[in-house]
Every structure is written in structure tokens, then in C-alpha cells.
Structure 1
Amino acid sequence: MTKIKQNSPVLFYFNQSKKWLVKISKKDSLHTHIGVIKHADAIGKEYGSRLVTNKDKYVYLIEPTMYDYVMKLQHGTQIVYPKDIGYIIARAGIGSGQKILEIGTGSGSLTSFVASVVKPRGHVYTFDVDDNFMKIAEKNIKKAGMSKYVTQQKLDIKIAKKMPIEEADVALIDLGDPWTVLPQVRKMLKGSGSVFAICPTMNQLEKLTIALVENEFTDIESTEHIIRTIEAREGKTRHSFQGIGHTTYLCYARKAFFGRGSRKKSDVLPEETQSDVESEEST
């Protein structure tokens, strides 16, 4: 049985739209529209218990998951949502002990989530160029308890002469022009290592896919993930009119070796692009 104590993280949960993530301090109180929640009242209770406010409303004391941390992050930039993060982790096969490269730290949502998966033996190396965003991300990563498994560095990978890491298992790119760093990413990935790029627009997907082929990546896949929540209630279950629709497009690929220089172009391009090339060459 896990008991709540001083400095324990707690999610005060009232409903889906009203929940507060705090670190317990016996001297603090949370003032909300449903009443005052005294931190001291939570100390000694088991996670899952509930407290009653001075307005006779109750909140549950929930042990936060990484999902809760990500959804409560300070947003300096648009975050990568859990619905997209889950697919990234599953499709790329991200697991404990892996070395992860991230270009474009942003608010640190993807950084924190991935670090929670690869720890304790794995590590995330993340790079950005904006000091303000990096400070916000540092706070968010620390709040999520992942600082030990993340190395942040200010570095413009596009112009870096020496690559900071090598033999990465997975590369995550969150830039407006992800195709510009593919040559550098390729140098830092292990053979058949995966790359995932976050692309807000389809125009970015087009440019990125062309660049992936040019830089000898295969198994290219572009997807969009939309969650439709259901309000399940006895006798009147229906889909919710609120929810997260489009957030971004995801582009996945794997590093390969096409054997260029020793074989014809039609022999070495991924199967899905060969017909397009043949059509172009015949005109």
C-alpha cells in the first residue's frame, strides 16, 4: 500500500476537465471553484482515496502517470500529444536501454515520455537552439522526474561539423523543415535505425518523403491519429462533442543502404517509388 507523504506527487481529480497536479506540501492549500483542498489532509492516505472540500465536493487522490505530466506541462511550444506519442513508441519499437536522439526539444513532452520508457539503462539526447524553450523544457522534464535520463544541449544540428552522438536506435525530429537534418541524422543512427518526424502540414510530408528516399531511408510511412472519445452512460451513450482531432502528421522511416554507385537507380529505390521514377525517366 502506497501512502501519500510530504513532497508526494498527487493528481487531485474531480472530473475529466477539472484536475490539478501538485506536489504535496502540508502548509499549502489549493483554492478551486469546488472549494479548498488542504494538502495536509492528503498526507497518510492511500492513492485512490478521496477528500471532501469545504463546499462538500470531493476529489480523488490519484498517483500521476506520465500521461498526466505531459498533459499538465507548461507549453512554450505546441506539445506532442500522448495519442501521437503512443504510436511513435510502438511503431519505432522504443524500449528500455535504447539510445534516443531528439532534434527539437520543444516543451519536453515527447522527451519526458520517451525517457520514461528507455530508463533506467537508456538515455535521451535532445538538442534545440532556443534558450527560452530549453528552459521551459528543462523545468517540465524535471517535474516529470526524468532529468536523470535526459541530456539537453544547445546545438544547431543543421550546421554542426561534428555529430554529438552515434549509433542511436531512434531519431525524433520536431522541426519545421525536418528534411534539412536528414544527412546528419543518418550519420547518428545505427543501421536500420528508425526516424520519426513531426509534420504539421502535408506539404512538409511531401518534401520530407522525397528527402528520405534521397538519403537512403526505407519503410516510409505517413499517418495521422485522431481520438474520438465516447461518453458511456446508461441508456444514452454517444460520442463526445469535444475531443482532440488533428494535431500533427507523423512520418516514419528506417535507415537502409541502397547500394548506390554500384547498381541502377531502379534497382535500389524502395518498391513504392520505383514506378514513379520509371515514369519520369520514360518522358
Structure 2
Amino acid sequence: MPRIGELVLLVSPKGKRYLRRVEPGADLHCGDGIVAMEDVMGADFGTIVRSHSGKPFRLYRPALPDLLRGIKRQTQVIYPKDIGYICMRLGVGPGRKIIESGSGSGGLTLAMSFFAGETGEIHTHEAREEFMKLCRKNLDWAGLGSNVTLYHQDIKDGFLTGDADALFLDVRDPWEYLHHIPAAVKSGAMLGFLVPTVDQVSRLLFGLEKGPYDEVEVCEVLVRGWKPVPDRLRPMDRMVAHTGFLIFARHQEQIDALDAYKYMGTRERKQESARRERLGLPPLRGETGGEAGDDFIDEPDGSCED
């Protein structure tokens, strides 16, 4: 049964969802009647509680997506579909130390706190004090955040902690802060970034290729629901499509001994030559008359990309 102070989810006959905290007298008033909190406190999760008009409400323990939908917002929040992949790629979990910047309303912070558990650490930086306070308020409301440290800090001056296992930036111009990252994370740490537009992605990629970063990935997460009708199964008319670009990389100092073993097909040679030209590095051997076979060149993979 629900405990005093606990959040519960009540779902109306029409499917409308209400998050309420269990407190004496905190009855739910809605179009389907009044649900007495006394009745909620006496029911088990997964059962039915009826309103004063006899309408049945399902009583559930809120899941993480319910908490994310229920937070107070003053900023655009990261969608659950993106949060799941972010937490997986960064390895958020028990015993891990994660640095975040751009706390905003605290949606991602809340989720990372949930996954990190009692032994994980989340250190989140926010330049605007009102957002930092809102983030803390949302964490307290959800009953999470004991493993979260909030800093009122503009990261143009660097991060206020270090030795992190992973780092995530949700800021407008993440390329401006790349030089602060090596001092804040362990060697080999996973890094993540969220930006909404392609020009921001390009500027970030230009910054990452200067190092010390490797294993760069750019993606977006799209979710298309299907109508759960067995004899008429088909996609929903609408879907949650582009909400932002996710960029991941690994903090990695250059290891010259690995260069000789890199795959260098035709496409890779073109990309590496362009990168070297942008960075003002010497051209690849073979590009200026070097001996054939100076670089490892495999057979083309059949791709038409260049």
C-alpha cells in the first residue's frame, strides 16, 4: 500500500494520468469525480480506487517516464527516448561518477540520479541560479537526488569537480568548452552532447577532431508507435521524431602506435586527408608521391559513399 509522502499514479477511466503525493486530505478533484486520499492509502498498487461518483481509477506506482512527465518546466527538457540512450552510452550506474552541464529543469539529472543508485554520483552544473533551484526542487519532488551535487557555475570557467567516468553537455555551444573536459574526466571516459541543429553538430565535430577525442558517433533517436490491435496492426498516425542530435565521443589521447593499424580504404583516405588539411597537419604518405603500400589500404567495401 502507498506510504505517507509517496508519489502515486492514478489513471482515470479515459486514460488521463494524475500524479499525486500521498498526504491526508490531498484528494484528487477531476472531471470523473473526487478520489479520496483515504481510499488511496487503503488500496494496493495495481488495484482500483473509485471516485465519489463510482468511476474506477487504476492505482499504480509511478515509473520513471511518469516522473519525467510530471516535473515543473522552465526549459525544454530532454525526451525519455533520448535519455535512455544517453544513460546507456555514458554508462550511468552504481559506482559511476557523471558530470553534467546544463541542468535546466532537471529531467536528465533526475533520470541519471535514478540509474546511479546509492553509490553513484551525479555532478551537475548550471549557469542560471533559477534553473539550478528548479532542478533541485524537481529532484526533491520525485524523491531522488541524494546522489546529486548541484553547482551554480558557468562552465566557461571550467568544471568544479574531476576524475569523472563520463560527462554530458546540454549547452548551446559545446565546442567552446571542449578544452575544459580533459581535466574533468578520466582517460577513456565517455562524453555526450545534445544539440538541435546540423550547423551546431558540424561545429562540434570540427572541435572534437582537434582532440584529444576519438570514437565519435552522431545519431538521433526516433520512436514510432504502433496501434496495439491484433487484427489491424499498423503504425500510429504520428511519431516522436527529431528532438535533437546526440553526439558521443571518448576522451582519448593520441596514440601514435595505433595509426599504422588504422583501416585506410579509399573513403577513409579522403576523409583523413581532408582532416589533416583542416588541421594543418602533414599530408598522408602516398598523397605526395610516397611509396605504394606506405599506408594500410584494404579493398573497397562496395559502398558508394565518399
Per the normalisation by structure 1, the TM-score is: 0.89
Separation in structure 2 between the aligned mates of residue 244 and residue 258 of structure 1, nearest angstrom: 39
1:9 to 7, 28, 34: 7
RMSD: 2.4
1:254 to 225, 250, 257: 250
Separation in structure 1 between the aligned mates of residue 35 and residue 63 of structure 2, nearest angstrom: 21
Structure 2 SS opposite 1:221: strand
Q: List aligned pairs for 1:18-29, cutoff 5 A.
A: 18-29=16-27
Structure 1 SS opposite 2:93: coil
Matched AA of 1:30: L
2:102 to 101, 104, 127: 104
Deviation track 1:132-186 (CA, whole Å, cap 9, x = no partner) reads 21121111111122221101111111124xx421110110100000111111122
Structure 1 SS opposite 2:119: coil
Structure 1 SS opposite 2:156: coil
The alignment of Structure 1 onto Structure 2 pairs a total of residues equal to 275
Matched AA of 1:174: D
How far apart are residue 92 of structure 1 and its match?
2.2
Separation in structure 1 between the aligned mates of residue 215 and residue 141 of structure 2, nearest angstrom: 36
Separation in structure 2 between the aligned mates of residue 238 and residue 253 of structure 1, nearest angstrom: 36
1:12–1:270 CA distance, 2 compared to 1 (3 A):
farther
Higher gyration radius (CA): 2
- Residue 126 of structure 1 is matched in structure 2 by 124
Asked whether 1:144 is paired with 2:142, we answer yes
- Residue 208 of structure 1 is matched in structure 2 by 204
Separation in structure 1 between the aligned mates of residue 48 and residue 157 of structure 2, nearest angstrom: 54
Q: List aligned pairs for 1:1-283, cutoff 5 A.
A: 3-14=1-12, 18-160=16-158, 163-259=159-255, 273-277=271-275
Structure 2 SS opposite 1:211: helix
Matched AA of 1:157: I
Deviation track 1:200-259 (CA, whole Å, cap 9, x = no partner) reads 111111111111111311000011001111121243333222442221110000000115
Separation in structure 1 between the aligned mates of residue 97 and residue 261 of structure 2, nearest angstrom: 29
8 Å CA contact retained: 1:258, 1:268: no
Separation in structure 2 between the aligned mates of residue 4 and residue 11 of structure 1, nearest angstrom: 10
Separation in structure 2 between the aligned mates of residue 57 and residue 229 of structure 1, nearest angstrom: 29
How far apart are residue 93 of structure 1 and its match?
2.2
62-71 or 231-240: which moved more?
Answer: 231-240
1:133–1:106 CA distance, 2 compared to 1 (3 A):
same
Separation in structure 1 between the aligned mates of residue 41 and residue 261 of structure 2, nearest angstrom: 63
8 Å CA contact retained: 1:258, 1:269: no
Separation in structure 2 between the aligned mates of residue 41 and residue 122 of structure 1, nearest angstrom: 37
Matched AA of 1:82: P
Structure 2 SS opposite 1:74: coil
Deviation track 1:58-108 (CA, whole Å, cap 9, x = no partner) reads 211110122211111111111111111111122222221100100110110
Per the normalisation by structure 2, the TM-score is: 0.83
Separation in structure 1 between the aligned mates of residue 21 and residue 150 of structure 2, nearest angstrom: 24
1:243–1:178 CA distance, 2 compared to 1 (3 A):
same
8 Å CA contact retained: 2:13, 2:56: no
- Identity across matched positions, percent: 28
Matched AA of 2:214: T
Separation in structure 1 between the aligned mates of residue 95 and residue 206 of structure 2, nearest angstrom: 32
Separation in structure 2 between the aligned mates of residue 279 and residue 189 of structure 1, nearest angstrom: 29
Structure 1, gaps ≥5 residues long = none
1:152–1:269 CA distance, 2 compared to 1 (3 A):
farther
Matched AA of 2:71: L
Matched AA of 1:114: M
Separation in structure 2 between the aligned mates of residue 16 and residue 73 of structure 1, nearest angstrom: 22
8 Å CA contact retained: 2:47, 2:59: yes
